[in-house]
Every structure is written in structure tokens, then in C-alpha cells.
């Protein structure tokens, strides 16, 4: 078999088939087989992809033609499935969160290093042109001192009925809207303002009665006074993907009624001005393939995945307790 042989470990997540199609579409990867402990999920996923199934994870990992796996199980199963894949010498591409806790994330990364295999987490918004442009402008000081960043991701998953109810099981999903969709605004706030706020507070709402949050706002306060706001919702029609970054000299907006990145103040002048976007950086899946073949370094992705988990854990604790959490950035 030519290229990297990839197995699908789990069809629990709604992105399972998306990642499998990325395998099919990529010129250096081939889809081999799939598995899920839930027979119905496995059969439905395999039927969509025309993919052969195996009966258990060990069988999938023992296939000599499987060099790597995409892990799209329930979040609660990540640690067990990813560890077993790494110990079998398989490269792993996984849906976020990497693991439910920081300690478990760090242990998986150490295992990957010990086995000499590549572990990459799907954090796709970091590589998008608008994010890349905003990050560069911040780093170059074009906004002055950044004082505020807000990122919102929302869709109508539980209003439109297309998001499975299994995403409301806190024992398997390890949370609700913020633990799933909210990961994207969380890691973007960290990209714009830094990975280590001083405190985190959160307010979660349950509009649809699923028993977990379907509407969430998380506020991160930084030592220098800057504030980051990460918002997520499963009950927004139409959906939303937007961010604003405000500084002492200029402001950036993206996605508020349009898909352009616009700036005002400083070098942009007194009127809203379109910001030229660079090319996208390699998508995490591409990064994974390149890292497997020695063409890229996935360490920055893994570090971002650990810090994402740290923020999500703090946000969930803040929401559960109704307290502002002093952030542990060890």
C-alpha cells in the first residue's frame, strides 16, 4: 500500500466522517478500516464511507497496513484509545479536547514522544487566514497594547436537530457547548491574549433542557488588565463565527455580518479598512501528515492543546461552582 495507512478509531463525534474524507482526499494517506464499540455508529459511519470494519480496537491497531489513526470517540474515551494507539506505535490525529484533564494531556504527549510517533490535535481555526493575519498584527504592535478580545462560535445544532443528543451526556462528552464548540473561541482568545490569564469566570445556560450548557460565556482576565471573552452556543440561528480584537491604537473585526477582516485606527485610519489576508497556514491534518513524514514539527500544536484543556477545565469549574477561578498556569 502506498502512503500512510489510516484507521478510524470511533464514529462518536460528528467530525468522524469529515476526518476520514480528509484521509481519502489527501494524496499521501489512505483509509484502511474503521472501528467503534457501538455497532450502530460503526455501521452508519462505515456505510457512508464504504469502509470495512473490525470488531475491536486491538484488531484495528494490529493491522500491519494501519500506520496511524484518527480518534473521534467520545471525549471520555480519548485517554484510553489514544494511549493504546500510541503504545501500538500508531500516529494519532484527534478531535479536541485531547483529554479531559491537563495531567492526562501531558501523559499522552509523553507517551507519543516515548514511542516516536506523531500526535496532533484538530485546532483548525489557528491556521485560518484571518487568525494568522490578526496574530501577526498583534505581534507587530499594530493594535498597540491589546486590551480586549472576544471570539464567538455558535450554531443551531439543538434547534435544528442535527447535533446528536449524545453531546449532552456529561459522562461521555465531558461537558456541553463550551467543552465542544467552545474550544475554538477558547484557543483563539489564548492566541490573541496569551495562554495564561489570571482568573476565569463563566456563565452557562440551558435553553433546550438537555441538562448541560447549550449557551456559554467565559471571561478570562489577564494580569495586565486585558479581558478575553469566549462564547459558544448550540442554540443560535443563524450560526456565527466572529472575533474582535481591540487595542490602545487600533481594532480588528471579523465575521460580524461579513467574512472580511477589517481594521480601524492606527495604520488603518479613521474608517473601517479591509485587511489583506495571507495564505492559510497548514491545516492540522496537513501538519499531522507532514510531521509523520518528518516535514513539520507538531510541538506547538500539542502545547496549544494542553493550554486549551487547562482553560476549559477552569471554565467548567467556574460555571459549576459559580466562582471566579484563580488560574493555575503551571
- The predicted pLDDT at position 173 comes to 95
pLDDT of 276 higher than 70: yes
What integer pLDDT is reported at residue 7 of this predicted model?
98
pTM given for the model: 0.97
Nearest CA to 32 out of 40, 15, 59, 14 is that of 59
Supply 223's cell numbers: 494580569
**Beta strands across the sheet bearing 68-71:** 29-35, 4-9, 68-71, 91-94, 119-121
Q: Residue 1: what pLDDT? A: 56
Record the cell numbers describing residue 251, joined without a space: 481594532
Average pLDDT of the chain to the nearest whole number: 97
Per-residue pLDDT tens for 149-179? Answer: 999 999 999 999 999 999 999 999 999 999 9
Residue 289 above 90 pLDDT? yes
Annotate 219-240 with DSSP letters as a single string. Answer: EEE-TTS-EEEEEEESS-SS-E
Sorted by where each starts, the structural domains of the chain and their CATH numbers stand as: 4-121 (3.40.50.720), 125-283+311-326 (3.30.360.10)
Q: How many CA atoms lie within 13 A of 121 on its CB side?
A: 27
Q: Phi, psi (5° rounding) for residue 84?
A: -65, -40
64-68, 236-240, 284-288: which range is least confident on average?
A: 236-240
| Contacts by residues 79-85 (CB-CB < 8 Å, ≥ 24 positions apart) | 79/104, 79/107, 79/108, 81/9, 81/10, 81/57, 82/108, 82/119, 83/107, 83/108, 83/111, 84/57, 84/58, 85/9, 85/61
Amino acid at each position: 500500500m502506498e502512503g500512510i495507512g489510516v484507521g478510524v478509531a470511533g464514529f462518536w463525534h460528528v467530525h468522524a466522517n469529515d476526518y476520514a474524507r480528509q484521509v481519502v482526499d489527501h494524496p499521501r494517506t489512505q483509509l484502511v478500516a474503521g472501528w467503534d464499540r457501538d455497532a450502530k455508529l460503526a455501521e452508519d459511519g462505515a456505510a457512508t464511507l464504504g469502509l470495512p470494519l473490525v470488531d475491536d480496537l486491538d484488531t484495528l491497531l494490529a493491522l500491519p497496513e494501519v500506520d496511524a489513526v484518527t480518534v473521534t470517540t467520545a471525549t471520555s474515551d480519548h485517554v484510553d484509545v489514544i494511549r493504546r494507539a500510541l503504545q501500538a506505535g500508531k500516529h494519532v490525529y484527534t478531535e479536541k479536547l485531547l483529554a479531559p484533564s491537563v495531567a492526562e494531556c501531558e501523559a499522552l504527549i509523553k507517551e507519543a514522544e516515548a514511542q516516536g510517533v506523531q500526535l496532533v490535535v484538530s485546532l483548525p481555526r489557528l491556521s485560518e487566514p484571518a487568525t494568522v493575519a490578526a496574530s501577526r498584527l498583534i505581534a507587530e504592535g499594530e493594535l498597540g497594547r491589546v486590551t480586549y478580545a472576544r471570539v464567538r462560535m455558535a450554531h443551531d445544532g439543538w434547534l435544528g436537530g442535527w447535533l446528536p443528543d449524545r453531546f449532552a451526556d456529561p459522562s461521555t462528552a465531558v461537558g456541553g457547548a463550551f467543552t465542544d464548540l467552545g474550544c475554538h473561541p477558547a484557543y483563539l482568545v489564548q492566541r490573541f491574549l496569551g495562554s495564561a490569564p489570571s482568573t476565569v469566570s463563566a456563565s452557562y445556560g440551558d435553553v433546550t433542557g438537555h441538562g448541560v450548557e447549550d449557551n456559554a460565556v467565559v471571561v478570562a482576565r489577564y494580569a495586565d488588565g486585558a479581558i478575553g471573552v469566549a462564547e459558544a452556543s448550540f442554540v443560535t440561528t443563524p450560526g456565527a463565527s466572529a472575533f474582535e480584537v481591540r487595542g490602545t491604537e487600533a481594532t480588528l473585526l471579523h465575521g460580524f455580518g461579513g467574512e472580511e477582516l477589517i481594521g480601524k485606527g492606527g495604520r488603518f485610519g479613521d474608517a473601517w479598512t479591509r485587511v489583506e489576508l495571507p495564505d492559510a497556514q497548514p491545516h492540522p491534518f496537513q501538519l499531522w501528515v507532514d510531521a509523520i513524514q518528518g516535514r513539520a514539527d507538531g510541538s506547538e500544536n500539542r502545547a496549544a492543546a494542553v493550554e486549551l484543556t487547562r482553560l476549559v477545565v477552569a471554565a467548567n469549574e467556574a460555571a459549576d461552582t459559580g466562582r471566579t477561578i484563580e488560574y493555575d498556569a503551571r
